[in-house]
Chains A and B, each alone.
Chain A
Amino acid sequence: MISFLIRRILSSIPVALAVIAICFLLVRLAPGSPFSSERALDPATQAMLETKYGLSGSLPTQLLRYASNLLHGDLGDSLKFRGRTVNEIIGQSLPRSLLLGSIAFTLALALGIPLGAWSAARQGKPSGAILNGLALLTLSIPTFILAPVTVLLFSFYIHLCPPAGWGSPSQLVLPALCLSLPFVGVCARLTRSGLLEVLGADFIRTARAKGVTEPNLVFLHALRPAILPLVAYAGPLAASILTGSLLIEETFAIPGIGQFFVSGVINRDVFLVSGVVLVYCLLLLFFNLMADWLTALLDPRISLSS
């Protein structure tokens, strides 16, 4: 167990480094400059700014300069939000995204697994079909429709929650719901299909013959092996849900980290992008590790040391 952890953590280091390096180079390769705007900048100022922010010289030198700053824990300066460091931006926005994301992630699992399990238990009956249809429905509504419609419904037709903003618990309700809903469907579908597989297996037939009732069968015996695919999916899901989403943050005016993945690239704000990608990458590696560990825990046949 310990050796598995150590091995995985060690193998994660090159992954994080590779991600950062590739990301940095890709953003620098993309056409356009981080300093340009609708008003043209004179070339001397442009060159001065490039030198100031360590973006002069060849790409490898720039990368090396960035890497040596990284080793000192310095993620660099934002090029768009002048005077702000990437450390500061992430420090302010990440906790908000983590808060919202962890609520949404819990919601996705807490609603998705029972929904999937239920629709599997009622397989073949009308109620099962309805539950399954419900799960599909959450999947097929894109966030950019879901979020504004939710606001119209719950803030303007029924005055339940404020339409946007950050600062009070009531302002968390709608964005958390909208962030989680598409994944509720995925979780339900994965649970359902996993369960349907397992419910056909021998040990379930034995249990059923012994007279275990169907709901007990589903929730106590079958669920554990059946959620393996869900666990594999939940690793990356956790990482992406915890780092927020551009659409949700813009629609609900949430000052989170999710928008920087897109706006940072659009602005060619290379240090900011690399910084948030590093955060995402670390979360991804961590949750994938957790997922693999959970997989082994749930299915004794899998050994971690192999």
Chain B
Amino acid sequence: MKPRALHLCLAALAFLTLAAIFGPYFSPYSVDQISQTRLAPPDSAHWLGTDLHGRDLLTRLLFGARISLLVGLVGATISLFVGVTYGLISGYLGGRIDNAMMRFVDILYALPRIVLVIVLISLFDLKLKHLLDGTFLAPLASHARLLLLFVGLGMVEWLTLARIVRAQVLSIKERAFVLSARLIGQNTPTILFRQILPQVIPIVLTYLTLALPAVILEESFLSFLGLGVQAPLASWGTLLADGAALLNPIRTPWWLIVFPSLLLAFTLLLLNFLGDQLRKLQK
């Protein structure tokens, strides 16, 4: 199609990222600033309204974008590198190795991830805090738990992608061009990354854009259980969850649900669009 569409999409994503990084600095409110204008609908002082504590929703959404985009990015990156490589190798080698590698995926997949995260946090939270305290990373120390959450999510996010890539590879490796590459004596890594990888890129891109919302929502669920983001910080997920808790048949502060939902939906739409465009470009 038109590269203009791609540029527009990239520009929007860049704007979102910049807004997440610098937006909170321009806001007259801070992310945890409590005021007496509680549950106020949108007006000129609070463009997107305020929550139960009188905190500005726009500021919190911008701030929440940092955590959510970061969680999404970490999840996607781990999925991409670990999942794709694992799937490629497993599918290509086949036979016993494939079977063993896939059973390992099954094991990790079957374990409830909240146990993983609870144990991870309880065993390493304080240790990581002390470790970071001594170094130049000290400001990160109070976010030790968030880092562990990233690790916990990363540990499980690549599994589905590995399965999907493997299934593709099983089919691709029997095709003529792979067979001929093997015949002319190309080594395995070359075949894997030069011949097969480009063939699975489209499905990987599609799946990544699907995985991103899943990771962002997974984070909100863990935060909801007390295993993720610590109040008074926020992520899109926790903002959405807080809004959802206020839904009832009598009176609902609609802005606390509509705006976070719209922002999330818009971001996902952009990412999916980007995936589509990139796939076209690759052809």
Direct contact of A and B (CB under 8 A): yes
Number of interface residues of A (CB under 8 A): 64
Give Cα distance in the complex from A90 to B237, angstroms: 31
Q: Which of B109, B207, B244 contacts A144 (CB 8 A)?
A: B244
Verify A140–B269 contact, CB threshold 8 A: yes
Q: Which of B107, B202, B206, B240 contacts A145 (CB 8 A)?
A: B240
A238 / chain B contacts, CB cutoff of 8 Å: none
Q: Does A200 contact B (CB under 8 A)?
A: yes
Q: Does A107 contact B (CB under 8 A)?
A: no
Q: Does A156 contact B (CB under 8 A)?
A: yes
Give Cα distance in the complex from A256 to B175, angstroms: 45
Most buried by A among B167, B207, B249: B167
Give Cα distance in the complex from A148 to B242, angstroms: 13
| A305–chain B nearest beta-carbon distance, Å | 9
Q: Does B145 contact A (CB under 8 A)?
A: no
Verify B264–A280 contact, CB threshold 8 A: no
A18 / chain B contacts, CB cutoff of 8 Å: 107
Verify B164–A229 contact, CB threshold 8 A: yes
**Known interface pairs A140-B268, A232-B167, A235-B163. Does A284 touch B110 (Cβ–Cβ under 8 Å)?**
yes
| B92–chain A nearest beta-carbon distance, Å | 11
Q: Does A99 contact B (CB under 8 A)?
A: no
Q: Does B133 contact A (CB under 8 A)?
A: no
Q: Which of A139, A156, A186, A235 contacts B249 (CB 8 A)?
A: A156
Give Cα distance in the complex from A197 to B198, angstroms: 12
| B110–chain A nearest beta-carbon distance, Å | 4
Q: Does B3 contact A (CB under 8 A)?
A: no
Q: Which of A59-67, A187-195, A211-219 contacts B (4 or more CB under 8 A)?
A: A187-195
Q: Does B228 contact A (CB under 8 A)?
A: no
Verify B170–A302 contact, CB threshold 8 A: yes
**Known interface pairs A142-B240, A197-B202, A306-B95. Does A262 touch B160 (Cβ–Cβ under 8 Å)?**
no
Verify B163–A139 contact, CB threshold 8 A: no
Contact flags A134-148 to B (C-beta < 8 A → 1, else 0)? 001101111111001
Verify A26–B115 contact, CB threshold 8 A: yes
Verify A233–B99 contact, CB threshold 8 A: no
B170 / chain A contacts, CB cutoff of 8 Å: 295, 299, 302
Verify A26–B167 contact, CB threshold 8 A: no
A149 / chain B contacts, CB cutoff of 8 Å: 247, 257
Q: Does A19 contact B (CB under 8 A)?
A: yes
Contact flags A269-306 to B (C-beta < 8 A → 1, else 0)? 00001000100110011001001000100010110001
Q: Which of B42-50, B116-124, B180-188 contacts A (4 or more CB under 8 A)?
A: B116-124
The A126-169 residues at the B interface (CB cut-off 8 A) are 133, 136-137, 139-145, 148-149, 152, 156
Verify A11–B249 contact, CB threshold 8 A: no
**Known interface pairs A140-B269, A193-B202, A193-B279. Does A15 touch B240 (Cβ–Cβ under 8 Å)?**
no
B240 / chain A contacts, CB cutoff of 8 Å: 142, 144-145
Q: Which of A27-35, A47-55, A71-79, A80-88 contacts B (4 or more CB under 8 A)?
A: A27-35
| A128–chain B nearest beta-carbon distance, Å | 11
B279 / chain A contacts, CB cutoff of 8 Å: 193, 196
Verify B203–A299 contact, CB threshold 8 A: no
The A231-282 residues at the B interface (CB cut-off 8 A) are 231-233, 235-236, 261-262, 265-266, 273, 277, 280-281
Verify A265–B261 contact, CB threshold 8 A: no
Verify B95–A273 contact, CB threshold 8 A: no
Give Cα distance in the complex from A183 to B2, angstroms: 30
Verify B110–A280 contact, CB threshold 8 A: yes
| A247–chain B nearest beta-carbon distance, Å | 8
| B170–chain A nearest beta-carbon distance, Å | 5
Q: Does A204 contact B (CB under 8 A)?
A: no
Q: Does A23 contact B (CB under 8 A)?
A: yes
Question: Mind listing 13 A-B residue pairs with CB under 8 Å?
Answer: A15-B107, A18-B107, A136-B265, A142-B237, A149-B247, A152-B252, A190-B206, A193-B206, A197-B203, A228-B168, A262-B112, A284-B106, A302-B174
Known: A8-B99, A140-B213. 11 other contacts (CB 8 A): A11-B99, A12-B103, A30-B118, A140-B264, A141-B265, A148-B247, A190-B206, A232-B167, A236-B160, A265-B112, A277-B112
Q: Which 10 pairs, one residue from A and one from B, show the smallest C-beta to C-beta distance? A: A232-B167, A281-B110, A193-B206, A301-B174, A140-B265, A148-B247, A140-B268, A144-B244, A19-B110, A26-B115
